[in-house]
Copies of this chain bind each other. A is one copy, B any other.
């Protein structure tokens, strides 16, 4: 399915269910999910989705991931209010990664309260931290 789509022209359409059925889930039944703030284009975080998480995200319009550490669905912001409202979802060329354009609500995408999880910038032989943690943990 994905190799067929590779050769498709701009604007060509395929049935979503057929595409989802062709997703090459990894050995844990997961694909990688990148969340990007839809307007600023800041990359917020990388998480994981199984089929159930993807279907719930499509149904509710809010990002739902699979928590590998807790072994359960992770409805992002369910308790903290730091939800991610979905603006668009794109699958990649081989279907093992998904890009979510979201509108991050609340304090930030990161559990430290920073807007993005990618706050550790490599600078020569050091890491420099960008952004302060806040009390509100998302």
Query: Which residues of B have CB within 8 Å of A88?
Result: 121-122
Q: Looking at the complex, which one of B41, B99, B126, B128 makes contact with A118 (CB distance below 8 Å)?
A: B99
A129 CB within 8 Å of chain B:
yes
A136 CB within 8 Å of chain B:
no
Which of A11, A110, A118, A131: most chain B Cβ within 10 A?
Answer: A118
A117 CB within 8 Å of chain B:
yes
A residues touching B (Cβ–Cβ < 8 Å)? 5-17, 19, 32, 34, 36, 40-43, 45-46, 58, 88-97, 99, 110-112, 114, 117-133
Query: What is the copy number of this chain in the assembly?
Result: 2
Tell whether, in the assembled complex, residue A111 and residue B93 are in contact, meaning their CB atoms are under 8 Å apart: yes
Q: Looking at the complex, which one of B13, B93, B119 makes contact with A128 (CB distance below 8 Å)?
A: B13
Tell whether, in the assembled complex, residue A129 and residue B11 are in contact, meaning their CB atoms are under 8 Å apart: yes
Nearest B-chain residue to A6, judged by Cβ = B112
Tell whether, in the assembled complex, residue A122 and residue B90 are in contact, meaning their CB atoms are under 8 Å apart: yes
Tell whether, in the assembled complex, residue A14 and residue B46 are in contact, meaning their CB atoms are under 8 Å apart: no
Tell whether, in the assembled complex, residue A91 and residue B122 are in contact, meaning their CB atoms are under 8 Å apart: yes
What CA separation (Å) do A5 and B127 show in the bound complex?
10
Nearest B-chain residue to A94, judged by Cβ = B117
Tell whether, in the assembled complex, residue B11 and residue A125 are in contact, meaning their CB atoms are under 8 Å apart: no
